[in-house]
Structure 1
Amino acid sequence: MFEKDAGSSIEADGKALALFNDLRDMKSRYKSLGEEIAVSEEKLKLYMQEHSILTLDGKTICTWKSQVSNRFDKKLFQVEHPELYEKFKTSTTSRVFRMK
């Protein structure tokens, strides 16, 4: 949607201002809720310790299991193979939405 910006500005009307204020409030609540979620997850993990499954009446209600993941080390590849890195590097354009 509107991939390129025109470099111009537009004045907020009442409807746009209401949307902006609602969004700002939602983002604030979202951040606060994210912090609460992280605290609750940590408390459950402390309770579970080395156990991988939390049950209630014999039924699984959550799990916390170890898993292996493989990731590509882009920085190391760039250092070890700079010419290949440059060959396969691509540039993209995107618009970033930031609230002030």
Structure 2
Amino acid sequence: MTSTTAPHAPYKQLRRPTTDRMVAGVASGLGRYFAVDPTLVRVIFAVSGLLTGGLVLLAYPIMWFLMPEEPATAPAWPHPTAAAPQGPPPAPTTPTPSI
């Protein structure tokens, strides 16, 4: 029996990237997962660490341990959401005035 369902887009995975990282890739992985700039995640970590006396910074090594590393065969980020159109764009269909 064959399946007739269309292929699904890959689901979001929380992983530590191997290319875009400062320390271990935790902030970059969180940024990619939530579709925000990884620098913003790093700033939030730093500010919340200052406000809580460093308590929040304990979460970083825990996430470092728990988040799997992105495989080397993973496609480049950001993943394409739709297939790019092939070939040149269609020509405009507006009629030209005759003189």
TM-score between both structures, scaled by the size of structure 1 = 0.22
User: Which structure's residues are more often helix, by fraction?
Assistant: 1
Larger Rg: 1
TM-score between both structures, scaled by the size of structure 2 = 0.22
